[in-house]
Structure 1
């Protein structure tokens, strides 16, 4: 099975650093753990003793509210780092699988020690976390300021861009296993409103989302509709 070191050296999170440059940290030898669809990998308020790096599959990172509702904060994809915090304490969100999900689980303490002993690893992790913060900022703008058409178009374009970076989107087409109620929890809309908005986008010949498959029909116009600038993903 592919170790974390092998994965990181072949994926953008690992850049072009060689095995020797990554050092001899024990956690780099771990192999991925696989979870079935709709499994909870970690829960909000749990101790944040581990971080996760997604190897494959789809997941959601969400914050549960006291009234039983939830806000999906992000959809971690291949290579994303999940759960890293600079301070000890409880987790701020839960991580759950949508499809079969393979993740590398490593000790937060060991990673911090590796970062402190070798700045090159720290630079790679910092770059990944900075990108995640930019994604979360756009999601906040989505729910706070963009109307239904713009926020839905923006999110679907973001997924296309993120998936294309890991070769999981080709010519504007990609698989998206998110159900409409999950899209609603991401976009801050009702399921009915999501359904209506997706129909409007399809009717306008901008994008199609059907049976778990997304196809960007008119990318230029969709980008204009969303006001999408992919720079924050780089």
Structure 2
């Protein structure tokens, strides 16, 4: 599940008096700093006034998760992006070649399936139509597997989903190259779906004849992770 669990507090802020009073006013009588309670509190803050939400750390910062820590390390000189599978022309791109492709920028919200969000994330990267053009998918191609350097993390989108106007392979966030914890050198950005679809540390795109269940789908999560319309939400 991409970006879903707290780290050691590097993005956290102390809960001040104003935030505490806001929680009380919102009907939360206590906070337990466990994973499930934290997620419930994060969802509960959505009903509070914006002035109160601004003072509460839930949903204000990223909670980074890795299924096979430590985070993969990116070497600009040796990293390659492989595009293969059901294509006419398998392609291997260096980091410099990825940055030389037509670039797109957007500002979109990020939503975790556990209930927290990060608003207005500024992404920069490459649209999938431009990656498609390099490899030329075969008529039999129906989906893409996004393979992470963090084995065994992988997830899949249909070609139509990958061609959504706000889907991209991002290499920069908030005006800077992706940090290691956020998936450097490249990550899948699919704002219409929950964050576990946003594969980080991407090293391979494989065109397939059908959608395959990814890491979290194999553990019971929905294949189509539409925000507000899947996983019981």
TM-score by length of 2: 0.25
Q: Which one scores higher on RCO, CA 8 angstroms, separation ≥ 6? A: 2
Which of the two has greater helix per residue?
1
TM-score by length of 1: 0.25
